[in-house]
Amino acid sequence: MKLNQLALTALTLIAVALPIAISSAQALPPTTTGGSFITSSQFMAQAPTRIAATGTFVAAEKPTTGTARIVVEAGKRYLVFDSAFKTSDQGPDLHVVLDPAAQPPMSYQDTTRYVNLGKLQKFDGEQRYPIPATVNLSQFKSVGIWCRMANATFGYAPLRMSTNANR
């Protein structure tokens, strides 16, 4: 019985002390470096994003516009479409692919020549696709919007590798 009372008392003390500890932690001043204060959101914003490549979309089978960038953030690579990205909504099975040619074929005869990054998330606007670490980016010269069902390239962006990667 005394053991149960002791456990109950300990739990009560923890329940009372925990909100105080949490509110005290929230009241701590921001981390400092070099005499200036940096909040956690500023720290995350300062994490460098390296732009590895960029390209502007052009039409193939369908009008496609906007910009594609390959960025490196915290050691991970992403293909990012800007807010101006737009392609036709006429494709029932659109995918995002990396292709070794600056101008991908209108249709693929060899399905091993490209890397499929997945289904197109939406027909317009900003979106991101993770690029697997096993993909050697130096082997790819464009990003394409490809309809798998019709085997048709809707549009593509020839990629230019960046020389000044920090932005």
Q: Mean pLDDT throughout 93-106?
A: 97
What pLDDT digit, counting tens, does each position of 3-50 carry? Answer: 455 444 444 444 444 444 444 444 444 444 444 454 544 544 555 789
pTM flag (> 0.75): no
What's the one-letter identity of residue 4? N
Residue 44, φ and ψ in degrees, nearest 5: -65, -35
What pLDDT digit, counting tens, does each position of 120-134 carry? Answer: 999 999 999 999 999
Residue 157, φ and ψ in degrees, nearest 5: -130, 110
Cβ partners under 8 Å of residue 147, min gap 6: 61, 91, 92, 93, 94, 95, 153, 154
